[in-house]
A and B are shown apart, each in its own frame.
Chain A
Amino acid sequence: MKRVLNKVFEALLPLLAVPVAFLIGAMMLLALGANPLEAYGAMIAGAFGDVSGLTQTLVKATPLLLVGLGVCIAFRGGVINIGGEGQIIVGALAATAVAVGFKEWPGLVLLPLCMLAGVLAGAMWGGVPGILKARLGVNEILSTVMMNAIAVQLSNYLLRGPMIDPKEIEAGTRIAQSALLPRSVWLARLVPQTLLHSGAIIAVVLAVVVFIFLWRTTIGYRIRAVGLNRDAAKYAGINVPFYQALSLILGGAFAGLAGAIEVMGVQHRMMENLASGYGFSGIVAALFGSLHPLGSIPASVLFGGLLVGADKMQRAVQVPSALIDTLLGLVVLLVVGSQVISRRRAHRRETRG
């Protein structure tokens, strides 16, 4: 019991760095002529203080968690997936295409089909770097960065051509967005009058599934083995390139699902900038959760809350939105920078024990 408490304490220790980041932020706020107390009050209240804030936080946490799960798998498999952005986009595109294309189909069939389409598209977008790495040794950082840019252009093309909302053409405005998804694929709202949708539950369930997958199945075992020591895994008969590719494919699949769920649960249509930032924020969420699927759950909520609260703060005290990025950057830097403190504490504890 004490051991568990110690571990939990050590996991939370880095969060003590958040106030330090906020202290620096407070100085910036003062310099901008805003009242830091008012600002941070608005931030915390905005993110967790009422139903509206809390639901917004959870809405944000959902894609972060889904992307983060993919990041966990990929990192555990020893590959760095920074292609989340692109994978979200293609996942959302695919889900939209299926939903709009077969809008007459019953929701019972169409809804899972849309999610599947998102998963498959994301898997494909992660699979290209995966297979390029497995077959031709192309570094995945390079290919995932490039695939992000390609996805953006693909989306630009589809959303102003084949997939554009016919109403936009009629109206002559030609805004690059798809038609509205049929209601049958909208994810159920968990709290009326808010955006919180059942995708959040799917994400949490999947976190548990990923945990079981990574630590309780042979495939997960192989992925972790490959991630930690390729040579040893190879000698043990594990097909290293295959599992590297698989981890990128699964990473992509989760990001793709995040995209699908985002259109089905929140936006109800595909539009530009759907992904913007989630691909990277998902990495941050996963790493805040120590690359553990279950740890990613609170980490995503925390990071989602930070994003929502920061927006609220910006509105409450009217400072440039750039302050938010600055503050988030500081939080990330200080939190990861102080993780070493809890590592050292654990080390000391084990050395004494």
Chain B
Amino acid sequence: MAELFTLPVLVGILYSGIRLATPYLFAAIGETFAQRSGVLNLGVEGIMLMGAFSGFYVGMKTGSPWLGLLAAAVVGILMGLLMSFISITMQAEQGISGIGLHLFGLGLSSLLFKTTMGGVESIEGFKAVRIPLLADIPYVGESLFNHNLLVYAAFLLVPLSTWVLNKTTLGLKIRAVGQNPQAADTLGVNVTRVRYFCVCLGGMLAGIAGASLSIALINLFQENMTNGMGFIAVALVYFGGWRPLGVMGGALLFSFVNAFQLWIQVKGINIPSDFAIMMPYVLTILALAFATKRAQGPAALSKPYERGEN
């Protein structure tokens, strides 16, 4: 065990954990917005796949990861619009709409991949940007400040979204709509518009989350490459108590433990690999079980709003 607590290992965990956390952060913060406005979107995974594909495809065809990112964001918004239309305008049960959206995204992304590309290819995605002075900090500098732009962006999203939720009129509307849409409605807040906005924002961020894999972290697309990340991201929203900072805590915990369990295997510690692989899942549950403060979710979460029905 002692060999796990050496400096290179800890530095390695820090580096890998931050990278692993990036797609979770984008997706989970997007989902935080959707849920704070009262919409449970279980389709994050499908949106991520569509974002990953479109980001990759456009990036590959144009040679510009920036255009790929833009494409992923746009496709994410479109998927968000679809979810919004079904679950907000048509007031469908949100859980099942999300599962439908997931299936749709899963299928369509592979279908497009098959018909347009036919095989796995790789591209040059976003390059690591070393932040001059900070990256020179001994030990941790390289781990923290030598990443590609999307990694930084994911972490900057945390204070930004906290600020939006708590300090802006838009954030106030989002929080109100998620808790008591009728009250917000009677004050002239357009519940539908706020929810559309949040779900589409969530979709955009989920699209970017997918793209962060395909054009920044791994630089290729493969069918079903997110492999359940979208669902973990939804779970992390609950872990984080619907607060971006908490979500970041959850994403980092999950990712650090995941990075750690790989080190356990690399160092040849003698436990079955399956149990090592379980660790992040088990610890995430345990961490939440023993957390002292538990947040209350948005009261209107997953309840469609119809005026007059009250």
User: Interface residues, chain A, CB within 8 Å of chain B?
Assistant: 28, 31-32, 80, 82, 132, 136-139, 141-143, 145-147, 149-150, 153-154, 156-157, 161, 280, 283-284, 287, 320, 322-333, 336-340, 343
A43 vs chain B, min Cβ distance (A): 15
Is B85 a contact of A337 with CB atoms below 8 Å?
Answer: yes
Is A142 a contact of B288 with CB atoms below 8 Å?
Answer: yes
- Asked whether any CB of chain A lies closer than 8 Å to the CB of B77, the reply is no
* Chain A contacts for B239, CB-based, 8 A: 142
A325 interface neighbour in B82, B106, B238, B277, Cβ under 8 Å: B106
* Chain A contacts for B282, CB-based, 8 A: 146, 150
> Considering the chains assembled together, what is the distance between the CA atoms of A283 and B42 in angstroms?
12
B288 interface neighbour in A138, A328, A338, Cβ under 8 Å: A138
* Chain B contacts for A145, CB-based, 8 A: 231-232, 234-235
* Chain A contacts for B109, CB-based, 8 A: 322
Interface residues in B, total, Cβ within 8 A: 51
* Chain B contacts for A340, CB-based, 8 A: 90-92
> Considering the chains assembled together, what is the distance between the CA atoms of A233 and B200 in angstroms?
36
Is B103 a contact of A332 with CB atoms below 8 Å?
Answer: yes
Residues 65 to 120 of chain B near chain A (Cβ within 8 Å): 82, 85-86, 90-93, 95-97, 99-111, 113-115
> Considering the chains assembled together, what is the distance between the CA atoms of A287 and B284 in angstroms?
29
* Chain A contacts for B85, CB-based, 8 A: 337
* Chain B contacts for A157, CB-based, 8 A: 272, 274-275
* Chain A contacts for B228, CB-based, 8 A: 149
Is A320 a contact of B235 with CB atoms below 8 Å?
Answer: no
* Chain B contacts for A80, CB-based, 8 A: 95
* Chain B contacts for A324, CB-based, 8 A: 107
Find the A residue at minimum CB distance from B223. A322
- Asked whether any CB of chain A lies closer than 8 Å to the CB of B281, the reply is yes
* Chain A contacts for B93, CB-based, 8 A: 287, 336, 339
B299 vs chain A, min Cβ distance (A): 12
Find the B residue at minimum CB distance from A132. B289
- Asked whether any CB of chain A lies closer than 8 Å to the CB of B285, the reply is yes
- Asked whether any CB of chain A lies closer than 8 Å to the CB of B171, the reply is no
> Considering the chains assembled together, what is the distance between the CA atoms of A145 and B86 in angstroms?
24
> Considering the chains assembled together, what is the distance between the CA atoms of A262 and B105 in angstroms?
28
- Asked whether any CB of chain A lies closer than 8 Å to the CB of B278, the reply is yes
> Considering the chains assembled together, what is the distance between the CA atoms of A57 and B61 in angstroms?
43
* Chain A contacts for B97, CB-based, 8 A: 332-333, 336-337
User: Interface residues, chain B, CB within 8 Å of chain A?
Assistant: 42, 46, 82, 85-86, 90-93, 95-97, 99-111, 113-115, 223, 228, 231-232, 234-236, 238-239, 272, 274-275, 277-278, 281-282, 284-285, 288-290, 294, 297
> Considering the chains assembled together, what is the distance between the CA atoms of A214 and B108 in angstroms?
39
* Chain B contacts for A138, CB-based, 8 A: 285, 288-289
Is A329 a contact of B235 with CB atoms below 8 Å?
Answer: no
B239 vs chain A, min Cβ distance (A): 6
The answer to whether residues A322 and B102 also contact, given A157-B274, A336-B86 and a CB cut-off of 8 A, is no
> Considering the chains assembled together, what is the distance between the CA atoms of A227 and B104 in angstroms?
30
A127 vs chain B, min Cβ distance (A): 13
Find the B residue at minimum CB distance from A332. B100
Is A336 a contact of B96 with CB atoms below 8 Å?
Answer: yes
Is A139 a contact of B92 with CB atoms below 8 Å?
Answer: no
Is B235 a contact of A336 with CB atoms below 8 Å?
Answer: no
* Chain A contacts for B234, CB-based, 8 A: 141, 145
The answer to whether residues A139 and B100 also contact, given A153-B275, A320-B114, A328-B107 and a CB cut-off of 8 A, is no
Is A322 a contact of B108 with CB atoms below 8 Å?
Answer: yes
Find the A residue at minimum CB distance from B112. A322
The answer to whether residues A32 and B95 also contact, given A138-B288, A332-B103 and a CB cut-off of 8 A, is no
* Chain B contacts for A325, CB-based, 8 A: 103-104, 106-108, 110
Is A333 a contact of B101 with CB atoms below 8 Å?
Answer: yes
* Chain B contacts for A82, CB-based, 8 A: 42, 231
Is B235 a contact of A142 with CB atoms below 8 Å?
Answer: yes
* Chain A contacts for B42, CB-based, 8 A: 82
Is A337 a contact of B92 with CB atoms below 8 Å?
Answer: yes
The answer to whether residues A146 and B281 also contact, given A132-B289, A322-B223, A328-B107 and a CB cut-off of 8 A, is yes
Is B108 a contact of A336 with CB atoms below 8 Å?
Answer: no
> Considering the chains assembled together, what is the distance between the CA atoms of A280 and B228 in angstroms?
13
Is B231 a contact of A320 with CB atoms below 8 Å?
Answer: no
B231 vs chain A, min Cβ distance (A): 5
* Chain A contacts for B104, CB-based, 8 A: 325-326, 329-330, 332-333
Interface CB pairs A-B, < 8 A, 6: A31-B115, A142-B235, A153-B281, A322-B223, A328-B103, A329-B46
A319 vs chain B, min Cβ distance (A): 8
* Chain A contacts for B277, CB-based, 8 A: 153, 156
Is B114 a contact of A322 with CB atoms below 8 Å?
Answer: yes
Find the A residue at minimum CB distance from B46. A329
* Chain A contacts for B102, CB-based, 8 A: 280, 329
* Chain B contacts for A337, CB-based, 8 A: 85-86, 90, 92, 97
A16 vs chain B, min Cβ distance (A): 14
> Considering the chains assembled together, what is the distance between the CA atoms of A141 and B98 in angstroms?
14
Other than the known A328-B107, A336-B97, what 4 A-B pairs have Cβ atoms closer than 8 Å? A143-B288, A145-B231, A326-B111, A339-B92
